[in-house]
Structure 1
Amino acid sequence: MTSDNKLYAGAAVGLILAALAGFGAARMTAPTAPVEASAEEASAPVGDEIEIDADGIRSSAIMVAPASGNSLDGILLASATVEAMPDAEAVLTARAPGTVTRIFKRIGDVVSAGETIALVESRDASMIAADRGAAAARTTLAARQLAREKGLLAQGVSARADYETAQANLAVAQAEARQAEAAARAVRVTGDGRSVAVVSAVSGRITAAPASLGAYVQAETELFRVADPRRTQIEASVPAGEAGRVKAGDRVELTTNDGQVLEGRVRSATGVVDAMTRQATIVITPGSGGSTIAPGQMVQARIFASGDGQSASGVSVPQDAVQTVGDRTVVFVRMPKGFKAQTIQVAGRSGGMVAVASGLKAGQSIATTNAFLLKAELEKESAE
């Protein structure tokens, strides 16, 4: 090989080495490409806790209740009706026949016990007022006659028999006066003696007002109905064979048509079975939320019976409390700062309740109504 060829060969080798060195430097200084997450990292579970304060729970209408310690066979479902307590509702009638001349209140108005709602002008009222006045006059006359006979007896002018007769006449007159006064009070005669007053016997609201101004009404005709919405009771109907399992003090969950859940307690069982429906009546006292329901409203009662015939162990929760997150069945347990999705194993379902085989203890506070909102929030955080 000549010297020129050697020179050319050395130059070529130098160029190749320089190119390789430049390529290596470029690889080392180039930005690192993003590395895809491993399969294990992609499948890592997200946190099950959801932070939400008490204000957020109230605004979301999420109901929190303890998990029941009853099994499904210890829970009775019954349709129920809200009724006013016997001493919290009054039917106001005309105490005497006459014409309705004044109406002071309308349906929905608040009234107090003893307040006059309307006036009925009545001929009977005038007669009763006249009898009362006559009885009072006879009493006055008898009292004066007795005083005169007493003076004559003291002077020895009149006999004692006349004095005793005057005493008897006064007693009779006083009895007639009391009778006339009682009759006037019974029909509530007004001061002018022309009308009878329609007076409310209880405090509350007017729930019915069939009275019409100028209408002629007979005695005992219903003119108004007043009820106190704060004093209510719930009457539930259960099968006759199950009534014996319900005891006073048993816990009850009351569900309204709009999904509101209220707490209550069994007050008593009537022990009487209707001959037509073969149902027994259970009287329930609503809890603190009872003011939100009104007489005549229909509710669904879930009675946690404590009597014989039910299993002593088991945990059950409302159907709304159980949610599916991925391949897990969970309930949301109340925590200091919110809720935590807790995996459970379902043993059975019946009547809107779910029996829990494991994963939850009786008495744990869980989200019931609107628990699906917590599920949506958990899935949102997982997606993010």
Structure 2
Amino acid sequence: MNIMENRNYLLAAVAAGAIIMGGGGILLGRSMAVQPVASPAAAPAETEEEGHVEGQILMDAARVKGAGIMTETVQAGGLGSEILAQAIVAATPDGEAILTARADGAITRIHRRLGDAVGAGEAVAVIESRDAAAIASERSSATARLVLARSAYAREKKLFDARITAKQDLEAAAAALAEAEAEARRSQSAAAAAKLSGDGRTLAVTSLISGRITKSDARLGAYVTAGTELFRVSDPRRIQVEASVPAVDTRRIQPGDTAMIELPGGETVSAVVRSATPSLDPESKTATIVLVPGSIAGLTPGQGLRARIKPRGGATSGPIALPDEAVQSVEGRDVVFVKTAKGFQAVPVVTGNRGGGRIEIVDGVKPGTVIATRGAFMLKAELGKGEAEH
């Protein structure tokens, strides 16, 4: 009986231990199933990784400007549709004035020097001349004769009205008055054209336009003859670009065609063809194409540069041409950097022929796309750093 009780007690104890161990296992399993809470520092990194776009470079406008990155709008037409020409910035016909001596004389005063600003009608120098005295004398004589002729006409008119003198006397007085008035106008015009001073001793050299003095050959005390060039004034706002184009290409260009002017720093300025000279230069055998720039920023008279003219009859589909520096090699692929709202996006392209610092793009971008040209290598470096971080 004792043996049976001990056996039953042992079995009950083993069963109770199993139940306790089972419950503990359940509790232990539940505690191991709870996941640890992610640290706050890990969340932004995970979000950035999810929002990253391959080939994207985030860059605002201020950073783009500070890095010196230039952009250009892609236009249709390959290398064959562009006419490359050497050009020079020149003043328009009304943008430059040559100031000459109006009469023989000695330069007694110089009011402006090389580089100074001058306004239209402003005196730049003064010449003391014997011709000034002659012009002043003629003006005085003409004025005196005019006063006398008016007096004589008034007297004859009064006598004629009183029926004392004949009509022919009045007509003669009227003719004399008309002649005196014409002579007075002529002498006044001569004095004004010569810029005669009030005392009648000196002549002023005045500027015809507003601008800056770009050339000065006047020397104080120097004796000059009439017609001698003393100063040259240019208005930097009135400029045009003159491109030298071979005769074979001149026939393709028409007024209204578009062009791009390449500045030394890598920037470009859009322009429009205004006209073409009807003959060739005897030395260079080229025609001059006059371009009107859309902006004068960065253009200085006398500056040499290159122009790319796009005739309207050229190709409007097929390859497009870009500057060599716009195409970069990334991981063995040719890419260009397209301007986006947030910065730039690297876009693979298929390239074609090269020449004259330009490269054809066969596929990858379309006309109207804005891409980075100057400074594209900096975007390549930024892209490399960004991809390494991700």
Question: Alignment partner of 1:202: what SS?
Answer: coil
Alignment partners' CA distance in 2, 1:355 and 1:363 = 15
Cα RMSD, aligned residues only: 1.8
Cross-structure match for 2:188: 181
Normalised to the residue count of structure 1, the TM-score between the two structures is 0.84
Cross-structure match for 1:207: 214
Which of 305, 309, 312 is the equivalent residue of 1:306? 312
Q: What is the 5 A alignment of 1:1-384? A: 47-288=54-295, 290-307=296-313, 310=315, 312-384=317-389
Question: Alignment partner of 2:251: what SS?
Answer: helix
Aligned AA (1:345): V
Alignment partners' CA distance in 2, 1:363 and 1:258 = 23
Alignment partners' CA distance in 2, 1:361 and 1:105 = 54
Aligned AA (2:274): R
Aligned AA (1:91): I
Alignment partners' CA distance in 2, 1:366 and 1:259 = 14
Q: Is the 8 A contact 2:119 2:211 kept in 1?
A: yes
Alignment partners' CA distance in 1, 2:220 and 2:175 = 48
Deviations 1:331-369 (A, max 9, x none): 000111000111111121122111112111121110012
How far off is 1:323 after superposition?
0.8
How far off is 1:238 after superposition?
1.2
Structure 2: give runs of 5+ residues left out of the alignment.
Answer: 1-51
How far off is 1:163 after superposition?
2.3
Deviations 1:15-70 (A, max 9, x none): xxxxxxxxxxxxxxxxxxxxxxxxxxxxxx98311111111222222111111210
How far off is 1:242 after superposition?
1.0
Aligned AA (1:301): A
Q: Is the 8 A contact 1:74 1:306 kept in 2?
A: no
* Structure 1, 203-212 or 131-140: larger mean CA deviation: 203-212
Runs of 4+ residues deviating >4 angstroms: none
Question: Alignment partner of 1:271: what SS?
Answer: coil
Question: Alignment partner of 2:112: what SS?
Answer: coil
Residues 303, 65 of structure 1: alpha-carbon distance in 2 compared, 3 angstrom cutoff: same
Question: Alignment partner of 2:233: what SS?
Answer: strand
Question: Alignment partner of 1:294: what SS?
Answer: coil
Alignment partners' CA distance in 1, 2:135 and 2:200 = 8
The count of aligned residue pairs is 338
Normalised to the residue count of structure 2, the TM-score between the two structures is 0.83
Alignment partners' CA distance in 2, 1:227 and 1:138 = 43
Alignment partners' CA distance in 2, 1:160 and 1:321 = 91
Aligned AA (2:293): P
* Structure 1, 318-327 or 331-340: larger mean CA deviation: 318-327
> How high is the sequence identity, in percent, across the aligned residues?
47
Cross-structure match for 1:9: none
How far off is 1:311 after superposition?
7.0
Deviations 1:252-274 (A, max 9, x none): 22122333322212222223222
Alignment partners' CA distance in 2, 1:92 and 1:70 = 46
Alignment partners' CA distance in 2, 1:296 and 1:333 = 35
* Structure 1, 187-196 or 45-54: larger mean CA deviation: 45-54
Structure 1: give runs of 5+ residues left out of the alignment.
Answer: 1-44
Q: Is the 8 A contact 1:229 1:291 kept in 2?
A: no
Question: Alignment partner of 1:272: what SS?
Answer: coil
Q: Is the 8 A contact 2:319 2:363 kept in 1?
A: no
Aligned AA (2:334): T
